[in-house]
Amino acid sequence: RHAMTRKNRSNDVERSGWLSYGQNTNYKDSALTYDEHAGTSRNCDNHPPKEKSMDSTNVGNLYGSTPQSRHHIATSNLGRSNPSRSIGRAIDMFRADPHSVNQLDFHDFGDGFEPGRIIDDYVGPAMELVSGVFLKFWFIERNIFLVYAWSTIDFEFDSIDARDNAIFEGDYIAENNLPLGLEVWRDKVFITLPKWRAGIPVTLATVPRRSKTRSPKLKPYPNWQWHEPESNFEELYCSKEKFSTRNLIYLTFICKSIITKYCPFSLFSGNCESLTSVFRVQVDECNRLWVLDSGKTELAKRSKQVCPPAIFIFDLRTDTLIRKFTLPDEQIKQDSLYINIVVDIRNNDCGSAVAYLADVWRYGIVVYDFFKDATFRVEHHFFYPDPLAARYELHGIKFQWTDGIFGMALSPVDVHNDRTLFFHPMSSFREFSVSTSVFKDKQTANYNTEKFMPVGKPRAKDYGHSSGSVIDDSGVMFFNMVTRDSVWCWDTRKEYIPQNLGVIGTSNESLVFPNDIKVDHESDQSVWLLSNRLPMYLYGTLNSASINFRVFKANVKEAIRDTVCDPNYVVPDSDPGLDDTC
């Protein structure tokens, strides 16, 4: 995610969601709309809104911070002491990466990114946040919790010396670690940390579900041995400078097993027996953790495929590996990035599980059959991004992403013992669906392309980008609206139209870029979500003196009560959609 365009702005631009209890709301509603050309917020009468004053919550750097480079990409103008000063003063090059579609990279060799002052607005009945006194974040009325909050991420190293050595060697750079995915199982909460940059020692970790501190250190899962750094085998044999046909012949006959282990596909160079770079995971009904390893590192620069994408399946009761499946070469396209996984199990038949893997950069779904231990790839034009939705703007940062299929969620099993897979590209304002019976085999999927259907209408007229999505046992979908700093819901029994979409939480401080969302496996389910300010991380610098990463928990019944997502709620015919209030 390197490509980005933006204008220098002299005014801070803040986008806020407004929520009235028990009602659908408009992100650009009568209280606040956005005039792109003026760069200011205006109400429906075209007058600037009254300025609000509310303290934001800052805390000190909890574990300290390691040295940080001042050379970063495409910074925003927010919070600078001299906003008129030009900031993209050096243009390096055109990129050839999938996210650099004829876009320029702007580099700033001056001041670092300083986030502007952000107002924390009322965030709704289910996720109301108390500003000012941080301790009140622990317990929020109606049993809504801010479970964890971090300024930077630290880990449970084996010793202080091990931590110091990791910092010295550059294996641990605190500000480079960004949590992205989460999952919940019993007393554990799983956190993923993709290898965006160097200095990320662990890609999958856990924290206790009931922690004594709001910012617990992350414990590598299953242990440190599963997160060994890349082997130096690449430097010896697999680098472009040192690899030759002669070396290949020698290694083929003398060290064939080493080639198979370290360079099985296009000279992969990582320790592919370990975990490399994980975006998201899924816990199934059989107490197994499905880990989708993308195999890619240095994603914030020029992404590097150090290992082939693979599925690791762990037994959560023993924390041991049950099975590993490596995707075959023909299902790995150039620049493929596998970032999401959902698992389908029927009638508690653990041996017949089916997993769906999303390739966000090369627009495909790979279907894995646990019983057959085999995969096939499905492609469809609904997996592609919408070019009209590739423009993003978040808190003054503008960028372009051409992300394809991203969010996936399975409906409850219907009367025909079938399920519906709902999905959407990240760069799109539409939701789509397909019956999982279509994925019986590759031939069935290829001959039933008409079974892929758009669902209802676009969720918004603009800024309707959604990342993760999930459906609870009652059939209510929860999904993150990343460019609206909010979390929405939809009762899947109702038509997918703006009038039927509800907002359970919105905050332009605490929910900046809600990235992943899950429901737990308890009988009385809760929805869990993680926000991580990803664009600020990629195109600026996170402020280590403020909270950057948060995990929330909300009881599902409380979250949707008195909203349009409540199955008992009847939508009035005159109820406007989220973008029709003004």
Q: Is pLDDT of 425 > 80?
A: yes
Confidence check: pLDDT of 282 > 70: yes
Q: pLDDT tens digit string along 483-536?
A: 999 999 999 999 999 999 999 998 999 999 999 999 999 999 999 999 999 999
Over residues 249-281, the pLDDT tens digits come to: 444 434 434 444 444 444 455 689 999 999 999
Express each pLDDT in 189-236 by its tens digit: 999 999 999 999 999 999 999 999 999 999 999 999 999 865 443 443
Instruction: Tell me what the mean pLDDT of segment 420-449 comes to.
Output: 96
pLDDT of residue 472 exceeding 70, the answer is yes
From the list 214, 201, 209, the residue with the least C-alpha distance to 156 is 201
The token pair at 450 is 């008409």
| Strand order across the 354-359 sheet | 338-344, 354-359, 364-369, 374-378
pLDDT higher than 90, residue 48: no
* pLDDT of 26 above 50: no
* Fold (topology level) of 145-229+269-560: Neuraminidase (2.120.10)
Other C-beta atoms lying within 10 Å of the C-beta of residue 297: 24
For the purposes of burial, counting CB atoms within 10 Å of the CB of 27, is it exposed (0-12), middle (13-18) or buried (19 or more)?
Answer: buried
Q: 243, 382, 226: which is closest to 310 by C-alpha?
A: 226
**Confidence category of residue 95, pLDDT binned at 50, 70, 90:** very low
What phi, psi does 258 have (nearest 5°)? -70, -40
Q: Where are the domains of the chain?
A: 145-229+269-560
Which range among 49-63, 141-155, 174-188, 445-459 shows the weakest confidence by mean pLDDT? 49-63
End-to-end CA distance of the chain: 34
Q: What is the band of 461 on the pLDDT scale with cuts at 50, 70, 90?
A: confident
Q: How confident is the model at residue 67 (pLDDT cuts 50, 70, 90)?
A: very low
pLDDT of 445 over the 80 cut: yes
What is the pLDDT confidence band of residue 40, given thresholds at 50, 70 and 90?
A: very low
Percent of the chain with pLDDT strictly greater than 90: 61
Average pLDDT, the chain: 77
- The pLDDT of 368-390, averaged and rounded, is 97
Residues in the chain, total: 582
Pairing of strands 514-519, 501-506: unpaired
Q: What is the pLDDT of residue 569?
A: 86
- AA letter at 437: S
Radius of gyration of the chain (CA): 23
Q: Which of 5-19, 130-144, 154-168, 337-351 has the lowest mean pLDDT?
A: 130-144
CA distance 115 to 132: 18
pLDDT digits (tens, 9 = 90+) for 529-577: 999 999 999 998 899 999 999 999 999 999 999 899 998 888 776 666 6
Residues 429 and 460: beta-carbon distance below 8 Å? yes
This prediction has a pTM of 0.73
Tokens of 80: 């600078």
